[in-house]
Structure 1
């Protein structure tokens, strides 16, 4: 390809920033990052923003290489045949390669009253909207957090540590990823903070009103403020643009993260569904995926065969207020093990992880190509899952999509 190659990255989160920084390794590549905000959102701190303990943003100058062009805008449509984008502002932008890293957000709760009366907490704007609502609520008013995953646990603990009376409604298991030992440690910490945990199928939310949350077993929990952290959704940009997606709307790719529809489109982060087997939503997955997506583009530009996904996990980190936390360790195939670190040591390690994430992005900005966790061996479990999928035939793949 003669002249400069224009690569556009849609999405300035963990995956998008990693990909954009890495793509600058070649002098003949121009990199444009499109993001609706002028600052990087440190999403793992949104629960802190909601209660006023952090602003959850980092200036792009700290994590984005100077040579990357930042366009503060959204994308309305991808013209795949024409290799162009229609921006939310009405402008257009062409590309030679596209990195689709639009991230994820809140899902439509589909529970009566939730859209009207509950406050989601998956984006900067949602956290900023929630913060004054919590500030305005009386200190003794009950707050209900819906969702027993990491975001729900962290939000409930953060609020309780501030002296709030908190109900945590799981609708299933508390911390479903956690090993039973880790789950018990989290439950003990929440109990010490005064959080009332409602777990199990009877605790599924059936209705949200302005002043209460109703559960499947008929219980009604008073709730001056209801925070909704359950569910997971992705933007429908790929689907609207005619690209193949899974049922949730994640872009379907092969194991090099290349779209099944066009080799000039690669995906990374929460909105990618490689081989119909997407990875767990986390910055732990997003940054290696961003690096892999960039390497796929760079390999094609060099006339080389791109490498395939080789993702490994170490576990899950959950803050339990500012004073305690838990680091749940896992096997490389992302299955929790009995070992964890909790208490004050867990809080310190969790904080180090949050700081480390930003430092890794900044390091890649300074020295593109220095990040290497996406090349750590350990993808055997994924290979077995892919073989099982192929052995099950096209019907299984169609159900997954």
Structure 2
């Protein structure tokens, strides 16, 4: 007699969701459904390349999803935890035994006047496609402004400048806030070499975006035919809309096994998860191991064993600065930066290897579930313990 299969739904077909779906196939009696709003996997870390035409930033799911995984192209409108069901945006309903919430993140909604109307975001495939059209339509001498000097802003500014465009990078404070001072100097040197005008320090926050310019806090006006908004990320509000506990940013609150604090049948991974209200840095570097660990938690619950707590580490951050340059900022396992970094062509080569590697991890897990392994030992438990201590008056 064939055992009844356990139904697991994975919401979100990004790095965490795909890895989780593939990893669940370690148990052949698990029926896996992946729900994603697009029919193709989006390599978000390559969206700036899509704009300039050096990569299409998409991969067919047939290349990265294992056999037997059902892909449903749709969005989730609501989770009904008591009934163990989800409502699809198309109007359908699906039931589950376990749910992995890997819905990911999107660009933070800009609150600066005019930004929503006149600045292009680049956090989603559709955004990058719209920006590509504007990039191509603008004259080669048209001024372009990138607002935000995190990894995305640095990559966009460098990519545009390498194509010979006039680029101004509005930092809103410090260039590359995550970077060590030495890494920051290396990034600035590369951007200067490409001809990027860097506006940082006091008064460098954008306070208004107009069709043809950007206004800064200190009153300066920056001419801009094409303005790109890269400042910050947010998460979809599906968990909050569904009555599940979230942090202030809307990420699903979980314990250290990535299990929702409200429901043991719901497990989270990736950018939209907040284990112990101490979320990891939003990145595919965090998302892929989280996907594997979320799947392991579900598999443990199915087997009736105790899930293991979260255990992963960081190595730093890789930033492309055009096709011929880059920056690899090294970090301790707990994600605090080191003075060490790698720049130049060597960093560009490493960054490209990382981009290809993320897809190869998914492909390998699709072929052989359980083959993926990740770096561990980031002193997570010490952080959790410290955060749980009462504050002394």
**TM-score normalised according to structure 1 size:** 0.96
Name the SS of the counterpart of 1:189 in structure 2.
helix
2 CA distance for matches of 1:170 and 1:263? 42
The superposition leaves residues 26-52 of structure 1 with CA deviations (integer Å, 9 ceiling, x where unpaired) of: 111100000001110011000111121
The residue aligned with 1:285 is: 286
Q: Is 1:385 equivalent to 2:383 in the alignment?
A: yes
Q: Is 1:142 equivalent to 2:143 in the alignment?
A: yes
User: Which 4+ residue blocks in structure 1 deviate beyond 6 angstroms?
Assistant: none
The residue aligned with 1:51 is: 52
5 Å-filtered alignment, 1:299-318, equals 299-318=300-319
2 CA distance for matches of 1:27 and 1:289? 21
2 CA distance for matches of 1:61 and 1:371? 19
2 CA distance for matches of 1:222 and 1:263? 53
The residue aligned with 2:167 is: 166
The residue aligned with 1:342 is: 343
The residue aligned with 2:241 is: 240
Contact 2:207 2:216 in 1 (8 A): yes
2 CA distance for matches of 1:198 and 1:230? 15
The residue aligned with 2:67 is: 66
Name the SS of the counterpart of 1:7 in structure 2.
strand
Name the SS of the counterpart of 1:230 in structure 2.
coil
The residue aligned with 2:195 is: 194
Contact 2:314 2:378 in 1 (8 A): no
2 CA distance for matches of 1:122 and 1:347? 21
The residue aligned with 1:82 is: 83
Alpha-carbon deviation of 1:384?
2.0
1 CA distance for matches of 2:36 and 2:316? 29
1 CA distance for matches of 2:363 and 2:171? 36
The residue aligned with 2:16 is: 15
5 Å-filtered alignment, 1:96-115, equals 96-115=97-116
**TM-score normalised according to structure 2 size:** 0.98
1 CA distance for matches of 2:43 and 2:376? 28
2 CA distance for matches of 1:114 and 1:280? 25
2 CA distance for matches of 1:379 and 1:235? 27
Alpha-carbon deviation of 1:3?
1.2
Q: Is 1:328 equivalent to 2:326 in the alignment?
A: no
Number of residue equivalences: 391
Q: Is 1:5 equivalent to 2:3 in the alignment?
A: no
Name the SS of the counterpart of 1:359 in structure 2.
helix
Structure 1 unaligned residues grouped into runs of 5+: 397-401
2 CA distance for matches of 1:10 and 1:228? 27
Q: Is 1:155 equivalent to 2:156 in the alignment?
A: yes
Q: Is 1:37 equivalent to 2:35 in the alignment?
A: no
RMSD of aligned C-alpha atoms?
1.2
Change (3 A) 1:379 1:338: closer
